Each structure stands twice: as C-alpha cells, then as structure tokens.
Structure 1
Amino acid sequence: MDDYPLLNLFWTMLWFFLWIMWLFLLFKVIGDIFRSHDLSGWGKAGWLILTLLLPYLGVLIYVIVRGRSMGERDVKQAKDRDAAFKEYVRDAAGSSDGASSSKADELAKLADLKEKGVLSDEEFQQAKAKFLV
C-alpha cells in the first residue's frame, strides 16, 4: 500500500464516510427511541443502554426490530408538520373572524363567472360593490 498513496487516501476517505454515516444512524436511532410513544420508560431505557453499550450491534438490532415503525413515525411527523404549516398559512392569510376569507371566496367566484361570460361587466361591478360594503 505504500506505493499507492492515492489508494490510501481513498481508503481513508471511505472509512471516514462510513464512520460519519454510522454516527448519523446512531443519532437517528437515539432520537427515535425518545420520540417513540409505543415504548414504555423501561423499554426506552433498555434500547438506550443497548445502543450505548454495544453501539454497532445495538443499532443494527434496533433497525432490524423497529425499522418499519421508525419509518412510519418519520412519515407521520412529516405529515403533522405539513398540516401545521398549512394551517398556519391559512390562519395568517385570513382574518381572525373568517369574514374576510368568505368575502374573498365570493369575489373569486364572481370574477370566475365574469370570465366565463355569465355576468356582464355592470352586473359584476354591482355584485362586487355589495360584498365590499
């Protein structure tokens, strides 16, 4: 190996990459242990002790035993975050009493009817004046 310094560099980079990936997996597993609602306190303590005392074997066993539910918790958390964000955007865009959003919906319907030719320009202006007052 002494004759190939580039190969040594490659192997060093490979081992460093694998070590970093293992650290990410270890932190992911420990985070999943704490956010798992189906484990009791003793169950969480047992998994934590296993992953900290026998890190490689403990992480491997955890991923084999609880990998599917770990993925399901990730998906549920992402959906919950998305729903909370959408709710926040709806609340921020509308007024606090909700009347403004219903007026905006009605005006959008009127504009749509005008574009389709159902309402004339004069009828649209009269209907719009009713909603804005």
Structure 2
Amino acid sequence: MIDHTGVIVADFPHSRAFYEKALAPLGFTKVMELGPEITGAFHTAGFGVAPKPEFWISSASAGKSAGASVHIAFRVTSRAQVDAFHAAALAAGARDNGAPGLRPHYHPNYYGAFVLDPDGHNIEAVCHDPE
C-alpha cells in the first residue's frame, strides 16, 4: 500500500484533468486542491478515496521542474480495475507502457498495467490477488 506519493507536472491543468479521468476506475477522485495562496508558490491537487489524498500532483516552481523519472504503483483489489485503469488512462491521453496482464517474474498472481502520463511518469495499477 502507498500512503501518498507525488510528482511535479509541466502542465498542471492538463495533468489534473488526465488524473481525474485515469484514476476514476480505481475509485480515486480529486480530494483536495490548493493554490499558491496556500502553498506559497505552486498549485497542487491530491487524489484518493475521500477523505484522504494519497497521490499528489504539483505544478513546477522555483527549484522544482517536471519530467523526473518516477514510477508509482497503485494497489487495487481486482484485475478488472487494472484493465479499467489502463483503458481510462489511454483514453485520457496516456501512452501505453505495458498492457494489462500477468507478470509472473514478480510473482504468480502479479497482474498489472503500465502507462506513461503526460509528463512521462510510469504509472501502474496492480492486483496481487488470484483472479
């Protein structure tokens, strides 16, 4: 389980819209959004299952730039959710980085799918349960 993670994005409005669509099949919604009036320098949005944001995106600001290599895996409870995430992410503009399927080199029940988000971050949904 991931408590929370975050990435810096090049185009905050575009990435916010992307994640609102791509994470919907996982049951994630935008839980919180803060602007420079609160953060002091950047926009940030937290996604998760209310009331707790678990995944944050933030706009670039002084000393922080987008495009760093990041991999984040979201644990889900069914293979159908992995499939739905992959389809939704591609429809929202992601690039395929690994179609839904078993990855037995990790373990026999590892079922995951990978996409590259608008900034090239490797985002995954994974189910560890059989079937």
| Fold shared by both chains (TM-score > 0.5) | no
TM tier relative to shorter chain: under 0.3
Question: Which structure has greater strand proportion?
Answer: 2
Q: Point out the structure with max Rg over C-alpha.
A: 1
Question: Which structure has greater helix proportion?
Answer: 1
Q: What is the TM-score with the length of structure 1 in the denominator? A: 0.24
Q: What is the TM-score with the length of structure 2 in the denominator? A: 0.24
